[in-house]
Amino acid sequence: AAVDVLVAVEGAGRGLSSDEAQRRLAREGPNVLRQPPRTSALARIAAQLRSPVVLLLLFAVALTSVTRQWLDAAAIIAVLLLNAGIGVEIELRARRALESLLALEVPRAVAVRDGRPVELPARELVVGDVIVVDAGRRVPADARLLDTVEMETAEAILTGESAPVAKDPSAGLAPDAPILSMRAAVLAIAYAAAMTAGTLLAFEIALRRAEALGVARSAAFFTLALTQIAQLANAYPPTSDAAPRRSLIRSPLTAAAVLTIGVQLLPLGIPVLARILAVEAPVAAWWWPVLVACALAPVGAGWLLRVARGLRRRRGGPAPR
């Protein structure tokens, strides 16, 4: 219930005192979304070159350089730079989109301090504040509804729905409930991709009091979503690259790519292999299929594992990992 929330954050129905609000502001920091640190252009380019496919192409560049196939090496390098440039551009667009979302931040808010409503910068709101929002104003922070009169919010910026969404302070607020189904809460869009960030109240209300829950629960949701868009361009997010690499290793497309590259590099690889093994070119030619087979071994192992899993599922046993 709303009263339980007030007790949990040590708030009061009459709001916080000015001294307590200042102490919480000094302890918890301002009510703003912290932007991710800016990275240099070289760091962004290097991030685009950290994938197995790029490393394979860099190996091809080294191989063609050893055999003095300068035109092929230059072509591969040009493709790599083009790919890195596209990835950096997508990342910059994501950052600009984030900055445009930050522009939706509510500059001013009305909070109950010392028992009376006071207008103050929204960045000075703290956990435990009771904020007042009337029709036409934007929601300045994540909040639990305390009192509403026929309140509805426009959430088109989040869900694309044109119809307003009804809010009810008596509705439950389960911690594991989907964010967009919380009818008893409103969340600021500048701080979380949740309920009614920066949206307008659709119906006139007599008075709405909301207890600020703070930004910790879902802060930087948009930041994470936008940076994931940029990372998907590289296809290997640094936070969870194990699964994409496993799918890459087991992909039939990878097998086709390795086989194609192996055939294309056959005229170039045999002389290099002959030099490394100190043998004649015909003898080195027998080693080339062996190397290609070794490259395809992880893919074949992945296929065998899939077959084993399918057979195990049919028999009702646990699938091997």
Give the per-residue pLDDT at 232. Answer: 42
Give the per-residue pLDDT at 192. Answer: 29
Question: Can you tell me the mean pLDDT for 92-110?
Answer: 74
Residues belonging to the chain: 321
Q: Which two tokens stand for residue 220?
A: 């930087």
132, 270: one domain: no
Residues 6+ positions from 124 with CB-CB distance below 8 Å:
21, 25, 30, 31
Q: Which two tokens stand for residue 82?
A: 């083009």
Confidence of residue 252 (pLDDT cuts 50, 70, 90): low
Reduce the DSSP state of residue 110 to 3 states and report it: strand
Confidence of residue 234 (pLDDT cuts 50, 70, 90): very low
Q: Which two tokens stand for residue 235?
A: 């296809």
Dihedral in degrees, nearest 10, Cα atoms 75, 77, 80, 86: -80
26, 126: one domain: yes
Helical spans, DSSP H, in the chain: 2-8, 18-28, 41-48, 52-66, 70-102, 156-159, 221-234, 242-249, 252-264, 266-277, 281-315
* CATH of residue 27: 2.70.150.10
254, 308: one domain: yes
Give the per-residue pLDDT at 5. Answer: 47
Torsional sign, CA 79, 80, 81, 82: positive
Closest CA to 142 of 195, 105, 98: 195
Expressed as residue numbers, the domain containing 311 is 250-321
Interval 104-118: pLDDT, tens: 666 788 888 888 888
158, 289: one domain: no
pLDDT at 24 over 80: yes
H or E segment and range at residue 33:
none
Confidence of residue 207 (pLDDT cuts 50, 70, 90): very low
Report yes or no on 195 lying in a domain.
yes
Give the per-residue pLDDT at 64. Answer: 80
Q: What percent of the chain has pLDDT over 90?
A: 0
